[in-house]
Amino acid sequence: MSSIEVAADATGMSAVSKAMRVLTALAHTGELTAAELAAALDEPITTVYRMLSNLEAIGWIERENKRGGVVRLGIDLVAVGESVEESLDSRQTAFAALSRINEQTHETSYLCVRDGNRAACIERIDGRYTRTAELPIGGSLPLHQGAGPRAILAFEPEVFQERYLSALASAQLNPMNEADLGRLTAELRQARRTGIAISDGDVTPGIYSVAAPIFNHRAEVVGSITLSSLRAGSDARFEEYDQLIRSEARTISTQLGHQE
């Protein structure tokens, strides 16, 4: 790395550090003027104005006016913070449920959250009998593939579902035909009616997965938990799994403040 590149990296990190100091000061006090920020951070007022302009451009702070008015955290940053906090709460709360599922069934259990048009696995406990490879931690699937992703898609607002299905139909690569769209729509309706989504070998042959959505205090779907097992044994065992995943998902939702 050249001396110029090193200097550029150092300058970039300095800017990030200064921006974080601005955000931290606002988080602690609620609102400050640019002059008060400059004094608190021991930075020239011109430097503070430049940082505020950059942070305002990405929605992380709000100003009453460009000069002299108070500065506060922006709604975009607040939304990011709430999303991160909610994700952490969901993960911590879900881990206990995943552990109970694993202890009772010795099967694989995992937690998914929506990431755009995909569902990502952010927590997972492998089973004793089989370790399905379809969704490792950090892995993701499209929202219409697999029990966990479909359990999320089924409880998203209708506007989102319609937009998602429309994108599948108009995709340039392997667009979904009318018959497949009809089957998917029926599966989503079934999931809403029963409270669970089922994947029976459609992602990984020989693997039965059942998933249920989890909701926050605003009754928004924030993820799903899945139990995944080899397709062997009696159907009665899978009926027990269906009931278990419903119950544990309901427990997580209640702990996140959801009221049915």
Tens digits of residue pLDDT in 125-154: 998 866 666 678 888 999 999 999 999 999
Over residues 69-120, the pLDDT tens digits come to 777 777 666 555 555 555 556 788 889 999 999 999 999 999 999 989 999 9
Range of the domain at 129: 80-255
- Which of 73, 92, 113 is the last residue in one of the domains? 73
Q: Which one has a higher pLDDT value, 128 or 235?
A: 128
Write down the pLDDT at residue 85.
52
pLDDT of 171: 87
pLDDT number for residue 243: 95
Is the domain of 149 the same as that of 101? yes
The per-residue pLDDT for range 5-56, each reduced to its tens digit, is 433 344 444 667 777 787 778 777 777 888 888 888 888 888 888 888 888 7
Q: How confident is the model at residue 245, as a pLDDT? A: 97
The two three-digit tokens of residue 212, written as one number:
């249920």
CB 184 within 8 Å of CB 137: no
* d(C-alpha 19, C-alpha 114), whole Å: 29
**Is the residue at 260 inside a domain?**
no
Answer yes or no: do 40 and 151 share one domain: no
Residue 197 burial (C-beta neighbours within 10 Å; 0-12, 13-18, 19+):
buried
Residue 10 domain flag: yes
pLDDT for residue 37: 84
Sheet holding 61-63, edge to edge: 31-33, 70-73, 61-63
217 DSSP 8-state letter: T
Q: Are residues 246 and 184 in the same domain?
A: yes
Q: What is the DSSP letter of 185?
A: H
How does pLDDT run across 156-188, given as a tens digit for each residue?
999 999 999 999 999 888 899 999 999 999 999
Both 133 and 198 in a single domain?
Answer: yes
**Contact (CB, 8 A) for 182 and 169:** no
Residue 90 sits in the same domain as residue 24:
no
Asked whether residue 163 falls in the same domain as residue 230, the answer is yes
**Which residues, 6 or more positions from 113, have their beta carbon under 8 angstroms from its beta carbon?**
87, 90, 119, 120, 122, 152, 222, 223
Residue 60 located in a structural domain? yes
Q: What is the pLDDT of residue 14?
A: 61
Would you state the pLDDT for residue 253? 92
Sign of CA dihedral 218, 85, 48, 29: positive
